[in-house]
Amino acid sequence: MLTNLIQELQSKATLEKAKIYQKFFKTGKGEYGEGDIFIGLTVPEQRVLAKKYVDLEFIGVKKLLDNNVHEYRLTGLLILVYKFEKANQEEQKQIVNFYLRNIASSNNWDLIDCIADKILGKYLIDKDKKILYDFAKSDNLWKKRIAIISTFEFIKNNQFEDTLKISEILLNDKHDLIHKAVGWMLREIGKRYQKTEEEFLKKHYKKMPRTMLRYAIERFDKDKKQFYLKK
């Protein structure tokens, strides 16, 4: 099954798209995605293949996650998402444990944003969330992004507390990818309950990184945006 999947991935490879993705995902020397390799598949193409090969065993998924080709890793992670969707509680626990054991494969923002809330977030929604706080306090960029993006599932269920607490932990982070992720999650809270977002902003907006703030207030009206930007 793995051989057939890889053949299908390679059959859809596009050199022109691969070159675009290499730049877009910052794979140059010193950039956050340094050394990552693309073959040029779109995410919708990978979703189709992930659903087709959802029954691929963990040993096969691990080979995808260990591969240096970005699309192999994303397809492997998407397979985990689709496995999780149809799994019972015990199987979900196994999938989450497997995901966490192979967390190093989630080393670019799309490998997190398409996955973390749908596996880790869904699993933890009614459980102890200590691991997200540990990730948020780590020195690893990608673990910190996983921590905040995982809370998107909580937000969808109108549970905002952990997003706000993790946002506070990440408030002084130096990386633009964290600023964007936190701002995005705060905006998602605001979509559902703007008062809660504004309570957070009024407490912290003067010290928030500019990018984080701009993402958070993106849906506000002009006057309200100007109020927060005049810090």
Indicate if 141 and 231 belong to the same structural domain.
Answer: yes
In this prediction, residue 144 carries a pLDDT of: 98
Indicate if 70 and 140 belong to the same structural domain.
Answer: no
pTM of the model: 0.95
Residue 24 belongs to domain with CATH number: 1.25.10.90
Indicate if 62 and 161 belong to the same structural domain.
Answer: no
Domain boundary among 107, 137, 155: 107
In this prediction, residue 226 carries a pLDDT of: 93
In this prediction, residue 231 carries a pLDDT of: 67
User: Count of domains in the chain?
Assistant: 2
Q: Tell me the DSSP string of the chain.
A: -HHHHHHHHHHT--HHHHHHHHHHTT-STTSTTTT-B-----HHHHHHHHHHTTT--HHHHHHHHTSSBHHHHHHHHHHHHHHHHT--HHHHHHHHHHHHHTGGG--SHHHHHTTHIIIIIHHHTTS--HHHHHHHTSS-HHHHHHHHHHTHHHHHTT--HHHHHHHHHTTT---HHHHHHHHHHHHHHHHH-HHHHHHHHHHHTTTS-HHHHHHHTTTS-HHHHHHHH--
Residue span of the structural domain in which 178 resides: 115-231
Indicate if 132 and 230 belong to the same structural domain.
Answer: yes
| Residue ranges of the chain with per-residue pLDDT less than 50 | none
